[in-house]
Amino acid sequence: MLQAVKEAGGIMQRSFHGHFKISNKAGVNNLVTEVDHASEKAIISIIKKNFPDHYILSEEIGKIEMDSDYKWIVDPIDGTVNFANGIPICCVSIAVEYQGSIILGAVFNPFFNELFVAERGKGATLNDKPIQVSNKDDLSSACLVTGFPYNILDKPNGPLEIFNTLIRKGIPLRRLGSAAIDLCWVAAGRFDGFYEHKLEAWDSAAGFLMVEEAGGKVTDFKGNHYSPYQPELLATNGKIHTALQGCINGLKE
């Protein structure tokens, strides 16, 4: 896993500010670059060389189905819009699932030289040093981060309404453009909470383990156990979880 994220991160770094093809997938501003494909190819090659019988789920190619208890969940570049525009808030994200449970995760931003790693039951690290979530217990003084899916902005009680409610309360709310980094920064205590309405498994699988192993809490918007295969995610330091969840759900009631 570490070999794969570092190899892919090197590809990102060498290609940054270079000339590469950019295309649009289904939807608005759903970009993919030839660097995404090169990163993905390198990652899958390393996985197959070491574990040829493992299942792989990757953003660009989809599923490589195998009869295995192990599944690799890969985002070759999380934050492709940032990458394509020369914004260095983007990363490689890889998780390993065993019998339905995420057991390993790695997120690497080569531009900041930040490698986040988590192992189920063994904690989370940033560049080999243990990390933990923040201690803030008051939502009004929290610093939050979110993301806006382009295709559901105007749904009732959706991203814009919750964003409007929170900023009117004077709560700092950022949007970085990479859910994997958002989650890692919650794990590292830089943000106190993160929520998003519509994520895919490759966006969150490694990052949500990072938050849990750093002492935080991750659920869906209703407070249920989080699965990377459902869209809504709420991740916090645990101390503001109920308050932020209430704020989100209060709009729906």
Span 167-190, pLDDT tens digits: 999 999 999 999 999 999 999 999
Q: How many residues in the chain?
A: 253
**Domains of the chain, first to last:** 2-130 (3.30.540.10), 139-250 (3.40.190.80)
Instruction: List the structure tokens of 104.
Output: 């390993």
In sequence order, the 6+-apart residues with CB closer than 8 A to the CB of 238 are 133, 215, 216, 217
User: What token pair was written down for 10?
Assistant: 């090197």
Q: Write the pLDDT tens digit of every residue in 50-89.
A: 999 999 999 888 899 999 999 999 999 999 999 999 999 9
What are the Cα distances from residue 19, in Å, to 35, 80, 83, 93? Answer: 10, 15, 12, 23
Strands 123-126 and 114-119, sheet pairing: antiparallel
Look up tokens 């493992």; give the residue: 54
- Kindly tell me the burial class for residue 154, based on how many C-beta atoms sit within 10 Å of its own C-beta (0-12, 13-18, 19 or more): exposed
Under a CB-based contact definition with an 8 Å cutoff, are residues 233 and 186 in contact? no
